[in-house]
Structure 1
């Protein structure tokens, strides 16, 4: 495989330069380790997906392939890579994207493939969209460019590993851990296959969204499974079924090597990297980085770690939601339904119970629950999680009833 990957990497230079491998000073100091970031968010389409699409399509440019209609399905990043390649090769393509795809990714896909592609929005999740793309390609004698489950796609994604190998600082001890995100599994399959005779299996940590753990479930069950439900927040990795070819390459690993990362934890990483480093990450691009904060400190300290930053296609219209999720995850923002007496001065008495760092971010009168009491939805932000313990003690001491609905997803989605 190595020779084929190196050939793919050489061909890729006609399209773009290598993405940088950078030692991050902030993260290295934070975790007391040598943390290197492979910055796939700095590719021309701001994700690694360009690699697989290019490799797949370049192998089909000869003969009748150049006259065919190319088709793909994607939640965004593969679509952008596909569109970029359609324009590069001068071929026509049709892109199927879920209706839920962020507008920023739709617009960028259209820009990258301008004059050569058209976009069809189908279904709420990727797997429905992918089915529509397969049917369309079959009906129109088109060439389907799969997002992850294909040897040529895997080979293209493996060029990431080949670049890491040639970019690793000369004279430095080799890295001993590589952390990467998993959606359909093409990147993980490619990287692990490329390094198969150079790194032990224990040198890998895979990360998935908690709401779409397709690899972890497959490794646990010993076979590929289709998840009944997927959380689409991490749109670049929210896949209900890992690719068959990819699972074949990854099945030797333990389910314990797959970390399911809570969606709200990703938001903490996204806001930190934006505020501290000026790095824009999409949720899938924050998966591997977030794993560092969730690992035991002793498992990170002193190690040389490569983290694959897979993408930076973030729609800033989502930033308020990301900040909200981050604060809730850190425990510095909560939503309460408060039962307040309906008498003059009751609100003033409640406000007196707040601490000096507590701030009311939302206040909404819901309805009268009884003649003498009313229910109020209140959002409170504070500086430290422990401040809420003080507030709750004050509420109990003063006989005020409340319900904390912060982590109640059903109520939070309906009310908040």
Structure 2
């Protein structure tokens, strides 16, 4: 009698684990014919309050230890690059690790589209070891994925396309408006509610962000608003001023609500401390701890993976940990090479080691770092 290949058993266990998790929480799972390699194994339709929603994703499921990497897991893209990146339904990759009986996930469509914006093609989908999918993380997972699906409907579809053109990502609460001038150049007005100014993204400036305020757009003494070699014409100025006027009431309301939240702790960057000074101070303290405590980075990573992380932080880790070179930079960091680290490496190092930074005043001694692992003797 013919035996059943071990790989098939693990693959079946992987699909069953994913199906069981979603169905246990009332989401609808439809399995795709396993005889055809279309790059997807399941359709999942999300539900809410006992009712199905219109939010659907495809899932590619992989099972086994062969997908494991030093910093997580990796799923090969192979011939599925175009369908995963440009299809009408987003595709997720989920890996089942039989050693831990755990599921780990990544948004394949988001990774491929992000890489294409940067002129690259990904050969694999990187999955962070922090991106665990289980009953405790499912609600956050569903919220994040449904938000991503929503980006491709209605006005959010336009905003998503504008963001891809400009190489930025807009939050759902951001106000985004666009204008096409007589030269077919695209201008994007991007305002975070609660802020006085806004960001101008202009195709003729290669989408380099420009900070604008109503005052900077006002013609005084014949001065014409300009950014580098670009001079805004009257129609562009009038459009930007109209955008400010249309969003001013909502922005003021958001600012007043933020002020009314109260100060639980004096967090954030103080106005009198420059970003470069603060960054240099934080990295000096990081280096001091790394030198004093060998293995600190590895221990911090383990602690972080046992914590429940926010959706925003999980997205950051998904992107950063999917690049082996960035992970290598972090694991090999030392005072002798920290100046050569990429921005991505520095960001990942801070995520691993620092929980948050509290700034209570303009002086350096008012900066307090809350570490992922408390300093010895300060637990």
Q: TM-score range by the shorter chain?
A: under 0.3
Q: Which has the higher contact order (CA 8 A, sep 6+)?
A: 1
